[in-house]
Structure 1
């Protein structure tokens, strides 16, 4: 079974059809997806800007990062769950859009960047997070995160516009 056939199967399923045609559920899920984006990416931008030294430079990184972590993870959980539901409802249409695969690629790269940061630097934030100048790799991770998540949002916003052509 090809990816396009699988997407069509999801799209034509009883669940996919009901979700797509629901007057209330589809807009509710889409709204939750956007709220999750606002929470997770809005807070992540604060963290990334702190890593770059552009936001609250007088505070140690840990004081910015640690209290926001549960909110970031909760926002990403909402994004992930609602994103799957939105895909099921519109799979046949968006699977043919190259911008959808760009979005997935940017998400994968952002996830790799976050994992690398967490494994290499995030666990030892107490050792380097109080320095006036943060390590170059930490600043690079913040810049990369800002860039990739911005590209995810741009690609995601293009999907509804390109799917009607």
Structure 2
């Protein structure tokens, strides 16, 4: 069912126009990459503060209040540009091993953010100026690792090493849901 939707999406005039555009695809992709610096940069600052490795004299609550609006702005830009990049090349992207790995890490990173904000919100309480509890530090470290992984896997989506139109190991064909290749 998803395969049929993705195949249909690839044939829509907007998808074709965006993919074949001389400048628009490059503008969308560049905006996506630049917004990564805003989003992940602010997340990294927050995580490093929770880990006690940066901004040690600034309360965690103040760091969160000042940086989260910028983080949300970066996230919104990333979602919009990411959706447009998917829309431009939906079949290849959907069947990309790298895309699927990135989406898994995005899901895990989102759950980590949700868990952190559910536990601490914008006011960490007693550890606002002191060392964070072990669970908060673990969440910050997991966040850094997950976002690095998202960037890493996202960067590899552009390469065709594991595209379905090439013979692939059975594992890659299974994970990517390649229909066209039979081992």
Question: Same fold judged by TM-score > 0.5?
Answer: yes
Shift of 1:144: 0.6
- The aligned length equals 163
Report matched runs for 1:67-82 at 5 Å: 67-82=66-81
Listed one character per residue, the Cα deviations across residues 90-127 of structure 1 (whole Å, up to 9, x for unaligned) are 11112111221110010011001001111111233244
What is residue 147 of structure 1 aligned with on the other side? 145
Greater gyration radius? 2
What is the DSSP-based 3-state SS (H/G/I as helix, E as strand, rest coil) of the residue aligned with 2:54? coil
* Distance in 2 of aligned mates of 1:71 and 1:162: 33
* Distance in 1 of aligned mates of 2:63 and 2:94: 38
* Distance in 2 of aligned mates of 1:112 and 1:99: 20
What is the DSSP-based 3-state SS (H/G/I as helix, E as strand, rest coil) of the residue aligned with 2:122? helix
* Distance in 2 of aligned mates of 1:158 and 1:138: 30
* Distance in 1 of aligned mates of 2:40 and 2:160: 23
Higher relative contact order (CA 8 A, sep 6+): 1
Unaligned runs of 5+ in 2: 167-183
Q: CA RMSD in A?
A: 1.4
CA contact (8 A) 2:109 2:143 kept: yes
**TM superposition score normalised by structure 2:** 0.84
Unaligned runs of 5+ in 1: none
What is residue 87 of structure 1 aligned with on the other side? 86
Higher helix share: 1
